[in-house]
Chain A
Amino acid sequence: MLKPKDLPKTEKVELQMTPMIDVVFQLLIFFILTFKITTPEGDFNIKMPLGKSSAQLTKEIPLPPLVVRLEAGSDGRLASITLDNRKLKGFDELHNIVLDRVGDAGPSAAAEEIEVELDCDYNLNYEFVVEAITAVSGKIEGNAILPLIQKIKFANPRKPGG
């Protein structure tokens, strides 16, 4: 039997922390440098099918589309908005008219049947198109979005400067 004095001396084992801390700090620096706060992005669906005859389109869409005409100034900013040849003051008025139309036609049916056609000047800044789509496609109610018109398409493109 071993006597206590024959046992090997117990040495305190110290873990080497330095490499782990090095790696951890490397990771931390990597994550800090690559960290980027991004705003959420969302999509608007655009209905742009090709190759359908006008008869087919008429059968599918019984109502004529609401034509939203967006005219651009020389700097690309919005000069005027017209809805079915009626001049509007702004996107708020467009939104209110769309709300009325959807309300008149019934809550769910209207959103499916009515179509909006965007007729924009070539030089118009794209942000105004998105504003127009925002005005016709939905309404914010609290945290939820009430869908309005989902069928949105572009008219034939206009020539540059036209």
Chain B
Amino acid sequence: MKIDTHALTETAEGDMTPMIDMTFQLIAFFMVLMNFGEGEQDERIRLPLSQLAKPPDAPNVWPMTLQLTKVGTVLFNGEEVPVQGIRPLLLRESQVMKVQERDPKEATVIIRADATAKTGQVQELIGICQAPEIGFENFVLRAKQRQAD
């Protein structure tokens, strides 16, 4: 019996086009939804919820984010320090601003405090920022958006 060798050696090539199309669609989807502004967010902070918390229309002037954890430590520039330990870091920040001929009074201090953090510690943090040698005056309290009922 003769075997037709030509018929057996043919390679079956699948059509890759639909798969590549779909893959590019997925990549485009994830790229568009990717948020690069998450650098300041930290998983240790669970923000309080508020219906009025809407993203600001205009970006804050010279923003500086201080994150207060529920155990009373402050996260700033990758360092975790107790509330009172933030003073030298803020002083350095303020001096850098002055060297760059920027007024610390115009900088915006964004406070991302955990929902269960103590209010007294938030006030202590604001008090340290307001110290005359540091001189920050603009504060915003950050909250996470709660969907309306």
Contact = CB atoms under 8 A, between A and B. Distances in A.
Nearest to A46: B139
A100 interface: no
Given A40-B53, A137-B52, A49 B142 contact: no
A31 B31 contact: yes
Q: Which of A39, A121, A123, A127 has the most CB of B within 10 A?
A: A127
A24 B30 contact: no
Nearest to A42: B53
A38 B50 CA distance: 15
Given A31-B31, A35-B34, A41-B55, A126 B116 contact: yes
A61 to B, nearest CB: 17
A55 interface: no
B33 interface: yes
Interface of A: 17, 20-21, 24-25, 27-28, 31-32, 34-36, 38-46, 48-51, 70, 72, 76, 120-131, 133-134, 137-138, 140, 145, 154, 157-158, 160
10 contacts: A21-B20, A42-B54, A42-B142, A125-B115, A126-B48, A126-B117, A130-B50, A130-B115, A138-B52, A157-B120
